[in-house]
Chains A and B, each alone.
Chain A
Amino acid sequence: MPDPMRIRAQAAGDKTTVRVLMSHEMETGLRKDPAGKTIPAWFIQEVTAQLNGKPVLTAEWGPSVSKNPFLQFIVKGAKAGDKIAVTWRDNRGETRTDEATVS
Chain B
Amino acid sequence: MRSRLIAFAAIAASATATVPLVAQTPPQPKSAADGIAEYRKMLEDGNPAELFEAKGEDLWKTARGPKNATLEACDLGLGPGVVKGAWAQLPRYFPDTKKVQDLESRLLSCMQSLQGFDAAEIAATPFDKGEQATVTALAAWISSLSRGMKMALPQKHPEEKRAYELGKRAFFYRGGPMDFSCASCHGEAGKRIRLQDLPDLTKNPGDGVGFAAWPAYRVSSGEMWSMQRRLNDCFRQQRFPYPGFASDATIALGVYMGVNAKGAESIAPAIKR
Contacts and interface: CB of A to CB of B under 8 A. Distances in A.
B48 interface: yes
Contacts of A67: 48, 222
B256 to A, nearest CB: 32
B147 to A, nearest CB: 16
Interface residues of B, number: 11
Contacts, number: 27
Binding site of A, secondary structure by majority: helix, strand, loop or mixed?
Answer: loop
Contacts of A21: 46-48, 50-51
Nearest to A71: B46
A57 B51 CA distance: 22
A69 to B, nearest CB: 9
Given A67-B222, A68-B222, A19 B46 contact: yes
Contact of B46 (A23, A25, A70): A70
Contacts of B219: 66
Nearest to A3: B51
Interface string A45-68: 000000000000000000000111
A29 interface: no
B56 to A, nearest CB: 12
A15 B175 CA distance: 58
Contact of A68 (B45, B48, B54, B55): B48
A40 interface: no
Contacts of A70: 46, 48
Nearest to B46: A70
B55 A3 contact: yes
A68 B55 CA distance: 14
Interface in B212-259: 217, 219, 222
B222 A23 contact: no
Contacts of B217: 68
Contacts of B222: 25, 66-68
Contact of B51 (A6, A25, A66, A72): A6
B50 A6 contact: yes
Contacts of B50: 6, 21
A59 to B, nearest CB: 16
Nearest to B224: A68
A90 to B, nearest CB: 16
Nearest to B51: A23
20 contacts: A3-B55, A4-B54, A6-B50, A6-B54, A19-B45, A19-B46, A21-B46, A21-B47, A21-B48, A21-B50, A21-B51, A23-B48, A23-B51, A67-B48, A67-B222, A68-B48, A68-B51, A68-B217, A68-B222, A72-B46
Interface of A: 3-4, 6, 19, 21, 23, 25, 66-68, 70, 72
Interface of B: 45-48, 50-51, 54-55, 217, 219, 222
The 7 closest A-B pairs by CB, nearest first: A67-B222, A68-B48, A70-B46, A23-B51, A6-B50, A19-B46, A21-B46
Given A3-B51, A23-B48, 6 more contacts: A19-B45, A19-B46, A21-B50, A21-B51, A67-B222, A72-B46
